Structure 1
Amino acid sequence: MEKPVRVGIIEDDPQIRQLMQLIIDGSPGFSCLQVWESCERALPDLKTDCPDVLLMDIDLPGMSGIEGVGELRKLNPQLPVVMLTIHDDNEAVFDSLCAGAVGYLVKGLPPVQLLAAIREAHAGGSPMSAAIARKVVRSFEASQHSPLSDREQEVLSMLCDGENYRTIAEALFISVNTVKAHIKNIYEKLQVHTRADAVRTAIRNRLIK
Structure 2
Amino acid sequence: MEKTRISIIEDNKVIRENVSKFIGFHEEFELTMIHGSVESFLYDIDVNPRKNTDILLLDIGLPGMSGLEALPVLLDKKPEMSIIILSTYEEEDTILKALCSGACSYVSKKASLPEIVEAIRIVVNGGSYMSPSIAREIINHLMGGRVSKATILSDRQKEILQKLVDGKSYQAISEELFISVETVRSHIKKMYKVLHVNNKTEAITKYMKGHIG
TM range (shorter): 0.5 to 0.7
C-alpha change, 1:125 and 1:46, in structure 2 (3 Å) is farther
Q: CA deviation at 1:102?
A: 0.5
Spell out structure 1 runs of 4+ moving beyond 2 A: 44-47
CA contact (8 A) 2:119 2:129 kept: yes
Q: TM-score, normalised by structure 2?
A: 0.63
Q: Does 1:51 align with 2:53?
A: yes
Aligned residue runs from structure 1 range 111-150, under 5 A = 111-141=113-143
Count residues in correspondence. 143
Q: Among the aligned pairs, what percent are the same residue? A: 31
Secondary structure of 1:61's partner?
A: coil
Q: Does 1:105 align with 2:117?
A: no
1:4 and 1:110 map into 2 onto residues whose CA distance is 22
- Give the AA of the match of 1:20: V
2:69 and 2:139 map into 1 onto residues whose CA distance is 23
CA shift digits 1:161-205 (9 cap, x unpaired):
xxxxxxxxxxxxxxxxxxxxxxxxxxxxxxxxxxxxxxxxxxxx9
Q: CA deviation at 1:84?
A: 0.8
| Greater RCO, 1 or 2 (C-alpha within 8 Å, sep 6+) | 1
CA shift digits 1:78-123 (9 cap, x unpaired):
2100011112111110111111111110113222211110111222
1:17 and 1:111 map into 2 onto residues whose CA distance is 11
1:91 and 1:46 map into 2 onto residues whose CA distance is 30
CA contact (8 A) 2:54 2:80 kept: no
Q: Does 1:64 align with 2:63?
A: no
2:37 and 2:12 map into 1 onto residues whose CA distance is 10
Q: CA deviation at 1:39?
A: 0.4
CA shift digits 1:96-152 (9 cap, x unpaired):
11111111101132222111101112222111112211221221347xxxxxxxxxx
Which residue matches 2:7? 8
The root-mean-square deviation of aligned C-alpha atoms, in Å, is 1.9
- Give the AA of the match of 1:90: E
Which residue matches 2:81? 79
Larger Rg: 2
Aligned residue runs from structure 1 range 34-49, under 5 A = 34-47=33-46, 48=49, 49=51
- Give the AA of the match of 2:25: G
2:3 and 2:111 map into 1 onto residues whose CA distance is 21
Structure 1 gaps, min length 5: 143-204
Q: TM-score, normalised by structure 1?
A: 0.64
Q: CA deviation at 1:51?
A: 1.0
Which residue matches 1:18? 17
2:143 and 2:136 map into 1 onto residues whose CA distance is 13
Deviates more, 1:27-36 or 1:57-66: 27-36
